Amino acid sequence: MGVHFGVSTFFVFCLLVLSANAREFRITARPGSDITGELSKLFKEACACVDRSTVLIPKGEFRLGEIEMMGPCKAPIVIVLQGTVRADGNVNGKDYWIAFRRITNFRLNGGGIFDGEGNASWRANNCHKTSLTQCKRLPISIRFDYITDGKVRDITSLDAKNFHINVIGAKNLTFEDVRIIAPDESPNTDGIHVGRSDGIKIINTNIKTGDDCISVGDGMKNLLVEGVSCGPGHGISIGSLGLYGHEEDVTGIRVVNCTLRNTDNGVRIKTWPSAACSTTASGISFENIMLHNVSNPILIDQEYCPWNRCNKNKPSTIKLVDIKFKNIRGTSGNKDAVKLLCSKAFPCKNVEIGDIDIKYTGKDGPATFQCCNISPKLVGKQCPKACSSPLTKAPGH
């Protein structure tokens, strides 16, 4: 007589088989050691496995130099960081500290800390003094390049020299319960920058940094930002767009149920005048956003030109279409509660403003709502009154 397995019994049996085939590769260096060479070796061995594998960095503090972990791998791979890895002070090497590249079925978790040791390097950031093509580029802390079907969960990025996390060319990649920390005066330390990717989720993540908490570059499709706490920082930004030629369209961006505290901007879209390309950003929604002392809470700025490095006399050629700002409420840190400054060459189209309630109690109040080259569709309540205020200069960073 054959043995009969029920569905649940068979499922448990399969899990046991998968677990038995999984392999673990563990860092054996003593705390305080440089693990760059050992980690590189272990990753290559794990990547070559035909079964699911885990690379474990145990509790303790370790030094880690520039490292690239490159796929494709033969089976799913998990990186577990339980301890802390610290970068060195090198600012003259590659454009990254840690790079995960071309990996499918990838996981990174473990509760550990990536410490970029950026404090000493921020003084080398001269991008606010010179052109973007000439300024000194500091290394990005963690790059995720061309990752497919991945999840990054329960890690901390601390004091990045440049961007904390950069994503390009990814498909179906989720960030959840990630913590990003840097001082509010740290330059160019964007929390998570995403571009030219499809199906990215950033969920239940806490970001405190010196630049955009989340920034969205060209070519981004189908991004969900949900349950994110941002501040200090420069808010949640689409763009800037239009600085470079051959940029790609942005579409399907949803920012929902997020909280911003003491940020220099709230939710914004920014494009360069005299843009080097003509692309479209469409299907963008900001919904259920709580504000606590947020300057420039709602902003479309198609005259974005920090440090006057462009020709403002040439209007932006980036088209903004199908944009929604809904159920955004709280307090503003300045009187410019809502500022919608669209391009004279290509006015914003199909912009919906619904249930806005932003208060400002400063001496130069009341709060203002400014519009230029836009006729928004109004739904529900708008406080301050929509498009009722004279135009003033847009913020420059």
| Catalytic machinery residues | 234
User: Residues 350, 389, 269, 325: is their CA dihedral positive or negative?
Assistant: negative
What single-letter amino acid sits at 331? T
What single-letter amino acid sits at 219? G
Q: For residues 31 and 242, what is the distance between their CA atoms, to the nearest angstrom?
A: 46
The dihedrals phi and psi of 36, each to the nearest 5 degrees, come to -55, -50
Class of residue 172 by CB neighbours under 10 A (exposed 0-12, middle 13-18, buried 19+)? middle
Q: For residues 259 and 293, what is the distance between their CA atoms, to the nearest angstrom?
A: 11
Chain centroid to CA 134: 24
Q: For residues 396 and 273, what is the distance between their CA atoms, to the nearest angstrom?
A: 13
> Buried b / exposed e across 185-216, counting CB within 10 Å, b at 16+?
ebbbbbbbbbbbbbbbbbbebbbbbbbbbbbb
Chain centroid to CA 250: 15
Any residues with CB less than 8 A from the CB of 37 and at least 6 apart, and which? none
For residue 306, give the 3-state DSSP assignment.
helix
